Amino acid sequence: MSWDNESVIKLIDAYKRKELLWDPKQKNYFNKLLKKDAWDELEVELQRPLEQIKKKMDYLLAALRREKQKITKTKTTGQGSDEVYRSSWFAYPHMLFLLDRNKPRDRINTVSIALTY
């Protein structure tokens, strides 16, 4: 069974709803049993074999990394905004939620707190 654009977007939307699978800030992100349950739910929802779903998500995540790298490479000093690469990949706007998943959380600066006492 092949993946047309509509079914890929459906997969991305279903994956987005399962934050446990992609968001390391989630409390149970490292819980393998809950992750397995989430993948199983995707399998039922999308009516495709689990291995096919995981393989497609791996491909999509790799493609997103390539698109992100292209954008980063064109954002150099002296470049005009019209010279920055803009992705034309159909899935890119649907996967934007994944771009900042690895940004560190805001932390309390303990040095400034210690200085106030």
pTM across the whole model: 0.76
Q: What angle do CA 35, 38, 41 make, to 5 degrees?
A: 155
Mean pLDDT on 22-27 = 90
Helix, strand, or coil (residue 111): helix
Per-residue pLDDT of 71-99, as tens digits, reads: 888 877 666 666 778 888 899 899 988 88
Mean pLDDT on 39-57 = 95
Q: Phi first, then psi: give them for residue 28, nearest 5 degrees.
A: -105, 25
Q: Is the dihedral of CA 91, 97, 102, 103 positive or negative?
A: positive
Enumerate the domain spans of the chain. Answer: 5-77+87-101
